[in-house]
């Protein structure tokens, strides 16, 4: 090799290094090579012991204590229906697993892979979109592919894979979609005659977002359909919902104020004004579908202020293992905390940031639980289930409403979503501004 060739190679290598703007951790699954953005990886680890969690998805191996922080452990091979090597040691116990600890938006998560290889740097302009039929893994989870040192790497989108919602969708697709109940089906048919596209909207909401149209939400869907039709026709769009994005846009106005977030003062004041009077004693509350827990914390602060002398207990359930495992350790930015929570003295400063005080944390019992299983809840004074029932199949909606009636005390209060209505004579609606709550009628 002459000096001119060496000089050209050095220049080429220097140019390649200058163009590197993306690094990824590479690993293998079932004989294929994958990569994930290094900015999403907190650390790599080898773990052999997980704490089993019952009634969860098959791909959830359990939870693990990572230096004081409880994280969920997902087996990516099971999640994507790939072959798994059943390695056992001499005593028949599971072998040590290779685990990537990923940083998601609000939490950490461990994922098991076959092997973890190395870190490589590339120029992001070299990343190509995946072909339509490329791999065993759904293409929606792949952000791109790249060839590097004679290997083809599939780059995974960890945020999209572990968003939680997609897990439910993927596993529910194994179940056959049930038709809406007979009475609602007749009403839908009537409205479909008035507007033929209406029945299609009902079906596609169930398909794309597992939103089931029943008497609980039929009036809202009907009004939204009129608004949606006018909007689509004025902009030259099809009225039909063609994909998940269309369904999300259709449902955007459905959700209650501050869904998934801390309630602000205006909503707190309305909610507080509707709470039943209690002289003291114990206030028992059920909050199914609590998600990441921010609404539950709002609820706990409001109850603590409303009932200063009472012993308060909130049972908060959700079937998202990721969200329920991170809820007890939530840390807040100061600017995100409403003034009534700060003024009430419900926030404590820690080294990691602002957290709710132990008094508030002790009020709430976060539990991983699917409400369609047996609910070991005592008689309660208050049930808060905002924007929750509409995402259950029609038969399950009826089942859970019946359970609400059974578990709510005679003078208790039920709070549903802003656009959900109970029309049964067994329930009496009390409306106040943006909020409607329900009391049981006399037997």
Residue 16's nearest CA partner among 4, 8, 26, 28 is 8
Rounded distance between C-alpha atoms, residue 48 and residue 54, angstroms: 18
pTM tops 0.85: no
- DSSP 3-state assignment of 346? coil
pLDDT of residue 188: 60
- pLDDT greater than 60 at residue 170: no
Rounded distance between C-alpha atoms, residue 296 and residue 203, angstroms: 32
Rounded distance between C-alpha atoms, residue 251 and residue 245, angstroms: 10
Q: Judge contact between 163 and 79, C-beta under 8 A.
A: no
296-340 tens-digit pLDDT: 999 999 999 999 999 999 999 988 777 887 888 889 999 999 999
Structure tokens at 271: 């909610």
pLDDT of residue 183: 57
Rounded distance between C-alpha atoms, residue 179 and residue 190, angstroms: 16
Q: Which residue has the higher pLDDT, 252 or 178?
A: 252
Q: What is the mean pLDDT of residues 152-175?
A: 62
pLDDT of residue 91: 45
- pLDDT greater than 90 at residue 343: yes
373-418 tens-digit pLDDT: 878 888 999 999 999 999 999 999 999 999 999 999 998 999 999 9
Q: Which residue has the higher pLDDT, 440 or 373?
A: 440
Distance of CA 362 to the CA centre of its chain: 24
- DSSP 3-state assignment of 88? strand
For all residues of the chain together, what is the average pLDDT?
Answer: 83
When pLDDT is cut at 50, 70 and 90, the band that residue 353 belongs to is confident
Q: What is the mean pLDDT of residues 273-282?
A: 85
Q: Judge contact between 146 and 155, C-beta under 8 A.
A: yes
When pLDDT is cut at 50, 70 and 90, the band that residue 181 belongs to is low
- pLDDT greater than 50 at residue 103: yes
Q: What contacts 24+ positions apart, CB below 8 Å, involve 186-192?
A: 187/215, 187/218, 188/213, 188/218, 191/222
Sign of CA dihedral 37, 291, 250, 242: positive
pLDDT of residue 144: 85
Q: Judge contact between 205 and 175, C-beta under 8 A.
A: no
pLDDT of residue 56: 67
Q: What's the number of CA atoms in the CB half-sphere (13 Å) around residue 330?
A: 28
Q: Judge contact between 211 and 255, C-beta under 8 A.
A: no
Q: Which residues partner with 438 through β-bridges?
A: 414, 429
Q: Judge contact between 316 and 327, C-beta under 8 A.
A: yes
Q: What is the mean pLDDT of residues 192-196?
A: 62
Q: What are phi and psi of 206, to 5 degrees?
A: -70, -40
- pLDDT greater than 70 at residue 169: no
């Amino acid at each position: 090799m002459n000096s001119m060739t060496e000089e050209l190679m050095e220049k080429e290598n220097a140019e390649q290094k200058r163009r590197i703007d993306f690094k990824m951790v590479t690993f293998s699954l079932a004989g294929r090579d994958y990569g994930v953005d290094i900015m999403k990886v907190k650390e790599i680890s080898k773990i052999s012991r997980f704490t089993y969690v019952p009634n969860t998805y098959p791909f959830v191996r359990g939870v693990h204590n990572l230096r004081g922080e409880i994280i969920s452990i997902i087996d990516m091979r099971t999640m994507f229906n790939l072959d798994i090597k059943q390695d056992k040691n001499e005593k028949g116990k599971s072998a040590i697993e290779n685990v990537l600890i990923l940083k998601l938006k609000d939490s950490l998560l461990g994922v098991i892979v076959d092997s973890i290889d190395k870190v490589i740097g590339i120029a992001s302009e070299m990343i190509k979109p995946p072909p339509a039929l490329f791999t065993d893994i759904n293409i929606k989870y792949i952000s791109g592919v790249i060839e590097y040192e004679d290997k083809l790497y599939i780059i995974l989108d960890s945020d999209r894979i572990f968003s939680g919602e997609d897990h439910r969708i993927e596993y529910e697709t194994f179940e056959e979609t049930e038709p809406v109940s007979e009475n609602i089906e007749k009403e839908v048919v009537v409205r479909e005659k008035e507007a033929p596209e209406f029945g299609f909207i009902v079906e596609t909401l169930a398909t794309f977002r597992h939103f089931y149209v029943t008497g609980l939400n039929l009036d809202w869907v009907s009004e939204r359909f009129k608004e949606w039709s006018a909007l689509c026709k004025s902009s030259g769009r099809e009225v039909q919902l063609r994909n998940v994005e269309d369904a999300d846009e259709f449902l955007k106005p459905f959700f209650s104020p501050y869904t998934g977030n801390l309630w602000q003062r205006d909503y707190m004041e309305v909610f507080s004004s509707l709470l039943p009077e209690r002289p003291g004693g114990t206030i028992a509350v059920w909050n199914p579908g609590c998600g990441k827990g921010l609404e539950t914390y709002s609820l706990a602060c409001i109850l603590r202020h409303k009932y200063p002398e009472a012993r308060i207990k909130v049972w908060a359930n959700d079937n998202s293992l990721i969200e329920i495992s991170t809820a007890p350790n939530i840390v807040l930015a100061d600017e995100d905390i409403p003034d009534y929570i700060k003024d009430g003295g419900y926030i404590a400063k820690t080294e990691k940031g602002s957290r709710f005080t132990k008094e508030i944390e002790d009020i709430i019992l976060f539990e991983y639980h699917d409400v369609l299983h047996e609910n070991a809840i005592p008689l309660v004074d208050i049930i808060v289930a905002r924007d929750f029932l509409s995402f259950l199949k029609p038969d399950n909606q009826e089942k859970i409403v019946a359970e609400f009636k059974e578990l709510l005390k005679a003078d208790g209060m039920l709070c549903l979503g802003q656009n959900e209505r109970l029309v049964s004579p067994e329930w009496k609606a009390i409306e106040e501004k943006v909020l409607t709550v329900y009391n049981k009628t006399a037997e």
